[in-house]
Amino acid sequence: MLPKYEAVCYELLRPEQVEALREAAPIAYVPAGSLEWHGLQNPLGTDALKAHAICCEAALGHGGVVLPPFYQGLLGYNNWGPEGWAGFTLSFNEGPTLEAAMLGIARALVFGGWKVIVGVSGHDVAPQRDAMQRAIETATRGTQAVGLALLEGELHSPDEEIPVSMDHAGAWETSCMMYAFPDKVELDALRKRKLCTEDQLKMSGPEGIGGKNPLKYASAELGGKIIERMGELIGRKARQMLEEVAPARD
């Protein structure tokens, strides 16, 4: 994790620090992702780690705190990997399990005085986002709090600066990890096996990657742009929600 993120990680903060952050902007982020195959080059926890970094950027830019991620997200009995590499997935698999876990933490956050609860789904897994959304709706119903759940790349359209969109262990995900966890990515693991020769990779290939070839297009620089931009988009949205429920006083 980048040292700058420690300033907004709930579990690393003392009570007075959390109190000050809650006073300034009572926004709480809950990232989620599943442990699963992310190519030979990335760690299994890529989805949650990446979502956590995006949430930290959102909190640093627009206020709030970030909860430890759910590493057991929701994939739905998918133990996928390319030939010879299946069997690494660890996930809740059933929607109600993630929903119940998310409801538990969202309720606790509302009880603790947080006014905006934001779930961020690492990897664009719609059922994972939807389970978090239902939990947040239930937890905030009839209270002064609001919230929503988002896919990490939901608010983004590819442009000149970030010419990629969410993928599976391709240039997007690998770049994000190169930026936020540089010592955990090993591109040589692909190179030495002579994998990834095409520009655009399909999940069906032996490298088990879908998206733009990370050996050609991934970089820490691109990862920084993605994580900062997604954090900015999500943080701005959370801040807007906060201003609607708790308008700034002069």
**By the rule CB under 5 A, 22 interacts with Zn ion:** no
Q: Which is nearer to Zn ion, 124 or 130 (CB)?
A: 124
CA 155 – CA 166 distance, rounded (Å): 11
| Token couple for 236 | 């701005």
Residue 86, CB half-sphere, CA atoms under 13 Å: how many? 7
Nearer of residues 124 and 137 to Zn ion, judged by Cβ: 124
- Measured from the CB atom, the residue of 88 and 111 that comes closer to Zn ion is 88
Cross-strand bridge partners of residue 149: 119
Number of chain positions touching Zn ion (CB under 5 A)? 2
Q: Which stretches does DSSP call E strand in 34-174?
A: 65-66, 116-121, 146-151
Residue with token string 């050609």: 216
Instruction: Give the CA angle between residues 159, 161, 166 to the nearest 5°.
Output: 65
Give the Cα separation of 191 and 92 in Å (integer): 33
Q: Are 137 and 107 in contact (CB under 8 A)?
A: no
Name which position in 52, 62, 123, 239 contacts Zn ion (CB under 5 A).
123
Report the residue closest to Zn ion, judged by CB: 123
Residue 129 as a binder of Zn ion (CB under 5 A): the answer is no
Stretch that binds Zn ion, among 46-54, 95-103, 105-113, 181-189 (CB under 5 A): 46-54
Region from 21-29, 43-51, 191-199, 215-223 binding Zn ion, contact rule CB under 5 A: 43-51
Choices 45-53, 76-84, 177-185, 223-231; region in contact with Zn ion by CB under 5 A: 45-53
Q: For 221, how many CA atoms within 13 A lie in the half-sphere containing its CB?
A: 3
Q: Shortest Cβ distance from residue 219 to Zn ion (Å)?
A: 18
3-state secondary structure of 167: coil
152: contact with Zn ion by CB under 5 A: no
Is 47 one of the binding residues for Zn ion (CB under 5 A)? yes
Residue 52 interacts with Zn ion (CB under 5 A): yes or no: no
Q: Say whether residue 167 binds Zn ion (CB under 5 A).
A: no
**Shortest Cβ distance from residue 183 to Zn ion (Å)?**
19
What CA–CA distance (Å, rounded) separates 173 from 143? 36
Tell me whether residue 63 or residue 208 sits nearer to Zn ion (CB atom): 208
Residues that bind Zn ion (CB under 5 A): 47, 123
